[in-house]
């Protein structure tokens, strides 16, 4: 396997001072649900890959499942990211720096591959999906989760008129910037079909969302994103005073909002593949 030399555009940046907070909040919001999906798929001795590993919480958790003290099977996990600086090292965890859009993940290597909130950002996501399918062992499982970002106007359940206006302006600017970097806002809706098209069988999928109050992780994530992308948001016409008002509201329990719906799709590489 080779590391990539020229990463594709990505809206956020793990070297930004706010990135550790963003990735920690993602883990707090999403890891429980991801554990529920992955748990029945993992057995001791499995080889796993986490693409776009972020803070490494899922890679580390998968490692705890496949490398137990009760077996000497050589299970292990690869945490792959273009900037894996937040992934803590661990025995059995291989951290690989690379660009998923150009990386060769190999053929028939992994029992389980997980990719959360990364394919939606990649312009050539179908081609990356094909390389991930090839990297699965026959009978191996691919688990992909992405946000459905098509309806930002439905997210805020309760907030002052200023909060409603400012939150929507922030969302539109953020999502517009992400799209200009190649992200897809509706890819999540197409995920199950994309897994089937990539040749996976037994594809199933679900959608999960949750209401969050101001001050809780699902609200604070938006405030963190607005800090990390502040300059890009100002460049797209958002006013600093409006961002500051929104951040205060996102820390106020009177504010209520839905998270973006998260689509999770699971598919199996046929044993005949």
Ligand X SMILES: C[S@@+](CC[C@H](N)C(=O)[O-])C[C@H]1O[C@@H](n2cnc3c(N)ncnc32)[C@H](O)[C@@H]1O
Residues that bind ligand X (CB under 6 A): 7-8, 10, 14, 23, 26-27, 30, 52-54, 81-83, 99-101, 116-118, 121-122
What phi, psi does 171 have (nearest 5°)?
-60, -45
Distance of CA 71 to the CA centre of its chain: 31
Nearest distance, CB of residue 53 and ligand X, angstroms: 6
Nearest CB to ligand X, comparing residues 42 and 249: 42
Nearest distance, CB of residue 151 and ligand X, angstroms: 19
Nearest CB to ligand X, comparing residues 9 and 239: 9
Nearest distance, CB of residue 51 and ligand X, angstroms: 7
Nearest CB to ligand X, comparing residues 121 and 137: 121
Nearest residue relative to ligand X (C-beta): 54
Nearest CB to ligand X, comparing residues 96 and 249: 96
Nearest distance, CB of residue 72 and ligand X, angstroms: 30
Nearest distance, CB of residue 217 and ligand X, angstroms: 12
Nearest CB to ligand X, comparing residues 81 and 242: 81
Nearest distance, CB of residue 175 and ligand X, angstroms: 14
Nearest CB to ligand X, comparing residues 54 and 75: 54
Distance CA 149, CA 223 (A): 17
């Amino acid at each position: 396997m080779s590391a990539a030399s020229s990463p594709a555009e990505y809206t956020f940046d793990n070297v930004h001072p706010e990135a550790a907070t963003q990735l920690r909040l993602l883990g707090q919001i999403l890891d429980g649900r991801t554990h529920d999906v992955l748990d029945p798929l993992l057995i001791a001795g499995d080889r796993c890959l986490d693409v776009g590993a972020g803070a490494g919480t899922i890679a580390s958790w998968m490692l705890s499942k496949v490398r137990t003290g009760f077996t000497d099977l050589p299970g292990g996990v690869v945490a792959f990211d273009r900037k894996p600086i937040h992934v803590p090292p661990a025995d059995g965890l291989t951290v690989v720096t690379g660009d998923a859009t150009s990386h060769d993940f190999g053929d028939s290597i992994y029992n389980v591959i997980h990719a959360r909130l990364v394919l939606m950002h990649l312009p050539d996501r179908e081609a990356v999906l094909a390389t991930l399918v090839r990297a699965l062992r026959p009978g191996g499982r691919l688990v992909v989760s992405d946000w459905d970002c098509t309806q930002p106007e439905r997210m805020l359940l309760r907030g002052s008129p200023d909060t409603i206006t400012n939150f929507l302006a922030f969302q539109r600017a953020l999502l517009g910037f992400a799209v200009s970097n190649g992200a897809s806002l509706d890819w999540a809706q197409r995920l199950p079909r994309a897994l089937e098209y990539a040749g996976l069988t037994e594809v199933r999928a679900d959608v999960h969302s949750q209401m969050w109050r101001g001050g809780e992780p699902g609200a604070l994530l938006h405030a963190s994103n607005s800090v990390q992308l502040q300059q890009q948001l100002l460049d797209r016409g958002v006013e600093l005073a409006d961002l500051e008002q929104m951040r205060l509201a996102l820390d106020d329990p009177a504010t209520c909002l839905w998270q973006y719906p998260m689509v999770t799709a699971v598919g199996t590489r046929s044993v005949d593949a």
